[in-house]
Amino acid sequence: MDAVFIDQKHLPEAAEAKYAQVYLDSPVPFVFIDSEKVYLAFIDEELSYEEAHRSQSGDYLIGYFNDQYFGADLYAHQKNKQTIQDCYSRVFSLLEETKNTGKITLE
């Protein structure tokens, strides 16, 4: 397995405290799709999805792996098929690099 993607519908459940340590200790990256909240909502056991700060980054995909956050935004913050595909393409490239090196390399 290269990564785990969690869609928007499941984000509140994914942010439950019982999963925080799973994300922190995971041997593969977790990617959260179209989250309105910052990545801390998923890795901080004390913080619920509802209580977490709204994301200001504009990232459509946010991820966490080996103590590092990563994200990818939509071109010009326009949500359409082309910009979503581009966003996934960039994250897939990042995940492939991570698979080969064992670490997130942000450019």
pTM of the model: 0.93
* Overall size of the chain counted in residues: 107
Domain boundaries, the chain: 4-101
- The 10 Å Cβ neighbour count of residue 106 is 9
CA dist., res. 84 & res. 49, Å (int) = 23
User: Which residues, including other chains, have CB under 8 Å from residue 10's CB and lie 6 or more apart?
Assistant: none
Question: How far is C-alpha 98 from the geometric centre of its chain's CA atoms?
Answer: 14
Over the stretch 59-101, which tens digit does the pLDDT of each residue have? 999 999 999 999 999 999 899 999 999 999 999 999 999 988 8
Over the stretch 19-39, which tens digit does the pLDDT of each residue have? 999 999 999 999 999 999 999
Helix (H) or strand (E) holding 93: helix 81-101
